[in-house]
Amino acid sequence: MDEQLNLLIELQEIDAEIKSLAAQKGRLPDMLAALERRRTENQQNLDTVKESLLTAQKNRRDRDHDLESGIQKVEKLKARTSEIKNNKEYQALLKEIEAVEQEIKAIEDEILILMEKIEAAAAAITAAEKNSVEEEAKIVADQKEYKATIAKVAEELKTVEQKRQEMISRIEPPVSARYQRLLASTSGNAVVEVRGESCSGCYMSIPPQVFVNVKKNESINTCPQCGRILYYKETIVQKN
DSSP string, 132-159: HHHHHHHHHHHHHHHHHHHHHHHHHHHH
Question: Helix, strand, or coil here: 187?
Answer: coil
The whole-model pTM stands at 0.67
Same-domain check for residues 30 and 88 = yes
- CA triplet 176, 180, 184: central angle to 5 degrees? 170
CB 201 within 8 A of CB 12: no
Same-domain check for residues 122 and 106 = yes
Neighbours of 34 (CB within 10 A): 13
Condensed to tens digits (0 to 9), the pLDDT of residues 46-104 reads: 999 999 999 999 999 999 999 999 999 999 999 988 888 899 989 999 999 999 999 99
- CA triplet 118, 124, 48: central angle to 5 degrees? 85
Main-chain dihedrals φ then ψ at residue 217, nearest 5 degrees? 55, 35
CB 230 within 8 A of CB 211: no
Same-domain check for residues 148 and 135 = yes
* CATH number reported for the structural domain that contains residue 158 in this entry: 1.10.287.1490
Same-domain check for residues 138 and 214 = no
pLDDT of residue 187: 87
Same-domain check for residues 52 and 11 = yes
Residues whose CB falls within 8 Å of the CB of residue 1, separated by 6 or more in sequence, listed in order? 217, 218, 235, 236, 237
Examine residue 240 and state whether it is found in any structural domain, yes or no. Answer: no
What's the domain range around 89? Answer: 3-169
Question: Helix, strand, or coil here: 230?
Answer: strand
pLDDT of residue 240: 40
pLDDT of residue 238: 43
Final residue belonging to a domain, choices 169, 195, 224? 169
pLDDT of residue 237: 44
Same-domain check for residues 59 and 10 = yes
Examine residue 72 and state whether it is found in any structural domain, yes or no. Answer: yes
The residues of the chain scoring below 70 in pLDDT are 235-240
